[in-house]
Amino acid sequence: MIERELRSTISVPHAPEVVWAAVTDWSRQGEWMLGTRVWIAGGGGDRPGSELAAFTGVGSLGVLDTMRIEVWQPPEKCSVRHTGALVRGTGGFVVEPDAAGGSRFRWWERFELPTVFAVGWPLAAPAVEWGLRRSLRSFVAFCRNYETEWGER
C-alpha cells in the first residue's frame, strides 16, 4: 500500500459558519463538486460515525466512495475515512477565519493505493488535482448563493 496526498486551499469571502453550512450540506455537494453526487448513508451526517456515500462519474460509469465521519468540529474541521473497495484512505477539510472577515478553506485527501495503482498515479494526479481546484472555485460561487439561502432560514 502506498499513500498519495492532495491538498488545495482557497479563500472564500464568507464567514466560516456559512462556509461550514455550505460544505456540510451533503446532498448539495453535487452542485459544486465536479461530477459527484453525495448522500448520507447512515446517521445524521453531522457527527462522528455517520456514513456518507459519493458517486463520481458520468451516468452509471464511475466510482462509489463510501466514507465514515471520524472528526466533526463545527465550524472548523471534518475528516472522513474512505471505506470503499476502490477509494481508501482519509480526507477532510478545515475552515479558518481570515483577516478580511472571510474564510480560508483547505481540502485534503490522503489516498491509500495498492502498488499496482500507485504506478499510474503520476498520470492520474494532474487530472485529479485539476478537478479538485475547479470544484473549489465552484464552491466559492456556491457559497455566494448559499449565504443568501442560509440567512433566510
Mean pLDDT by runs of 10 across the 153 residues of the chain is 90 96 96 96 97 93 94 98 91 96 96 78 86 95 82 54
Cell 448559499 maps to which residue? Answer: 146
| pLDDT for the residue numbered 150 | 60
Would you state the pLDDT for residue 67?
97
Write out the CATH class of domain 2-24+70-152. alpha beta
Q: Label residue 85 exposed, middle or buried (CB < 10 Å: 0-12, 13-18, 19+).
A: exposed
For residue 113, the model assigns a pLDDT of 80
- Residue 152: the pLDDT is 53
Q: Determine the pLDDT at residue 115.
A: 76
Cβ–Cβ under 8 Å, residues 102 and 14: yes
Q: Taking a C-beta distance cutoff of 8 angstroms, is the pair 152, 38 a contact?
A: no
